[in-house]
Amino acid sequence: MPNSLSSFNRDTFNTALREKGLRPTKQRACVYGVILDKRDHPTADDIYDRVKRHLPGTSFATVYNCLETLVGCDLVRQVNMDRSPTRYCPNLTPHAHFRCTQSGKIYDVEIDNDTLSLMQALVPEGFEAENLDLSFSGTAKSSNN
Protein backbone atom coordinates (compact mmCIF):
# COMPACT_ATOMS: atom_id res chain seq x y z
CA MET A 1 0.00 0.00 0.00
CA PRO A 2 2.04 2.99 -1.21
CA ASN A 3 1.71 6.50 0.04
CA SER A 4 0.17 5.72 3.31
CA LEU A 5 1.30 8.38 5.72
CA SER A 6 3.65 7.43 8.52
CA SER A 7 1.84 7.37 11.84
CA PHE A 8 3.59 10.59 12.77
CA ASN A 9 2.48 12.38 9.65
CA ARG A 10 -0.94 10.81 9.86
CA ASP A 11 -1.35 12.32 13.29
CA THR A 12 -0.18 15.74 12.20
CA PHE A 13 -2.55 15.54 9.28
CA ASN A 14 -5.60 14.41 11.25
CA THR A 15 -5.03 16.94 13.97
CA ALA A 16 -4.49 19.86 11.61
CA LEU A 17 -7.67 19.11 9.70
CA ARG A 18 -9.82 18.37 12.72
CA GLU A 19 -8.74 21.62 14.29
CA LYS A 20 -10.39 23.44 11.42
CA GLY A 21 -13.44 21.20 11.46
CA LEU A 22 -12.43 19.59 8.16
CA ARG A 23 -12.50 15.93 7.23
CA PRO A 24 -9.31 13.92 6.77
CA THR A 25 -10.34 12.29 3.50
CA LYS A 26 -8.29 9.79 1.52
CA GLN A 27 -7.75 12.30 -1.29
CA ARG A 28 -6.39 14.90 1.10
CA ALA A 29 -4.18 12.32 2.77
CA CYS A 30 -2.89 11.16 -0.59
CA VAL A 31 -2.07 14.66 -1.80
CA TYR A 32 -0.29 15.32 1.48
CA GLY A 33 1.48 11.99 1.14
CA VAL A 34 2.91 12.59 -2.31
CA ILE A 35 4.16 16.01 -1.26
CA LEU A 36 5.94 14.51 1.73
CA ASP A 37 7.18 11.58 -0.31
CA LYS A 38 9.24 13.36 -2.91
CA ARG A 39 10.27 16.79 -1.79
CA ASP A 40 10.98 18.15 -5.21
CA HIS A 41 8.57 21.11 -5.13
CA PRO A 42 6.00 19.54 -7.45
CA THR A 43 3.41 21.55 -9.36
CA ALA A 44 -0.33 20.79 -9.15
CA ASP A 45 0.17 18.91 -12.39
CA ASP A 46 2.94 16.74 -10.97
CA ILE A 47 0.85 16.08 -7.89
CA TYR A 48 -2.15 15.12 -10.00
CA ASP A 49 -0.06 12.54 -11.87
CA ARG A 50 1.30 11.06 -8.66
CA VAL A 51 -2.03 10.99 -6.87
CA LYS A 52 -3.67 9.21 -9.82
CA ARG A 53 -1.28 6.31 -9.38
CA HIS A 54 -2.79 5.68 -5.96
CA LEU A 55 -6.34 6.93 -6.42
CA PRO A 56 -7.04 6.70 -10.15
CA GLY A 57 -10.45 8.38 -10.02
CA THR A 58 -9.11 11.64 -8.64
CA SER A 59 -9.91 14.78 -10.59
CA PHE A 60 -7.88 17.88 -11.13
CA ALA A 61 -10.38 19.96 -9.23
CA THR A 62 -9.91 17.71 -6.24
CA VAL A 63 -6.16 18.12 -6.34
CA TYR A 64 -6.59 21.89 -6.34
CA ASN A 65 -9.18 21.69 -3.59
CA CYS A 66 -6.96 19.48 -1.45
CA LEU A 67 -3.96 21.71 -1.98
CA GLU A 68 -5.95 24.75 -0.94
CA THR A 69 -7.10 22.90 2.17
CA LEU A 70 -3.60 21.72 3.09
CA VAL A 71 -2.21 25.21 2.65
CA GLY A 72 -5.02 26.59 4.80
CA CYS A 73 -4.17 24.06 7.53
CA ASP A 74 -0.48 25.00 7.38
CA LEU A 75 0.55 21.54 6.33
CA VAL A 76 2.21 22.63 3.11
CA ARG A 77 3.41 25.90 1.65
CA GLN A 78 2.92 27.43 -1.76
CA VAL A 79 6.02 28.46 -3.64
CA ASN A 80 5.56 30.98 -6.41
CA MET A 81 8.51 31.89 -8.56
CA ASP A 82 7.93 34.39 -11.33
CA ARG A 83 5.11 33.35 -13.60
CA SER A 84 5.71 29.64 -13.41
CA PRO A 85 3.04 27.31 -12.01
CA THR A 86 2.68 27.24 -8.25
CA ARG A 87 4.74 24.60 -6.48
CA TYR A 88 4.18 22.94 -3.14
CA CYS A 89 6.58 22.36 -0.31
CA PRO A 90 6.22 20.47 3.00
CA ASN A 91 9.15 22.34 4.58
CA LEU A 92 7.52 24.70 7.05
CA THR A 93 10.66 26.19 8.59
CA PRO A 94 11.56 29.71 7.43
CA HIS A 95 13.55 29.20 4.27
CA ALA A 96 14.15 30.77 0.90
CA HIS A 97 14.16 29.18 -2.54
CA PHE A 98 16.73 29.01 -5.25
CA ARG A 99 15.68 28.21 -8.78
CA CYS A 100 18.22 27.02 -11.30
CA THR A 101 17.36 28.73 -14.57
CA GLN A 102 18.99 25.90 -16.47
CA SER A 103 17.32 22.85 -14.98
CA GLY A 104 14.25 24.50 -13.49
CA LYS A 105 14.97 22.70 -10.23
CA ILE A 106 14.13 24.41 -6.97
CA TYR A 107 16.28 24.13 -3.87
CA ASP A 108 15.53 25.12 -0.30
CA VAL A 109 17.89 27.66 1.21
CA GLU A 110 18.00 27.96 4.98
CA ILE A 111 17.70 31.41 6.52
CA ASP A 112 19.51 32.00 9.78
CA ASN A 113 17.74 33.94 12.50
CA ASP A 114 19.98 37.00 12.34
CA THR A 115 19.39 37.50 8.66
CA LEU A 116 15.71 36.81 9.12
CA SER A 117 15.45 39.52 11.77
CA LEU A 118 17.27 42.01 9.60
CA MET A 119 14.97 41.30 6.71
CA GLN A 120 11.93 41.71 8.90
CA ALA A 121 13.34 44.99 10.15
CA LEU A 122 13.22 46.38 6.61
CA VAL A 123 9.46 46.75 6.84
CA PRO A 124 8.75 50.40 7.68
CA GLU A 125 6.59 51.81 10.45
CA GLY A 126 2.92 51.50 9.74
CA PHE A 127 3.27 48.24 7.84
CA GLU A 128 2.58 44.90 9.45
CA ALA A 129 4.15 42.02 7.52
CA GLU A 130 2.48 38.64 7.94
CA ASN A 131 4.52 37.03 5.25
CA LEU A 132 7.98 37.16 3.85
CA ASP A 133 9.17 35.59 0.62
CA LEU A 134 12.75 35.40 -0.47
CA SER A 135 13.82 33.76 -3.66
CA PHE A 136 16.91 33.55 -5.79
CA SER A 137 17.42 32.47 -9.32
CA GLY A 138 20.60 31.64 -11.14
CA THR A 139 22.64 28.59 -11.89
CA ALA A 140 23.40 25.59 -9.73
CA LYS A 141 26.38 23.35 -10.36
CA SER A 142 25.10 19.99 -11.50
CA SER A 143 26.75 18.40 -8.48
CA ASN A 144 23.88 19.86 -6.47
CA ASN A 145 21.30 17.54 -7.94
Binding stretches for DNA (CB under 7 A): 22-28, 43-45, 55, 57-62, 64-66, 68-69, 83, 85-86
- Phi first, then psi: give them for residue 115, nearest 5 degrees: -65, -40
Q: CB nearer to DNA: give 46 or 98.
A: 46
> For a second copy, which residue of 4, 15, 80, 103 counts as binding (CB under 8 A)?
80
Q: CB nearer to a second copy: give 30 or 81.
A: 81
Alpha carbons 71 and 117: distance in angstroms, whole number: 24
Residues whose CB falls within 8 Å of the CB of residue 46, separated by 6 or more in sequence, listed in order: 40
Name the one range near a second copy by CB under 8 A: 5-13, 31-39, 49-57, 129-137: 129-137
Q: CB nearer to a second copy: give 7 or 113.
A: 113
Q: What is the dihedral of CA 113, 78, 97, 4, to 10 degrees?
A: 90
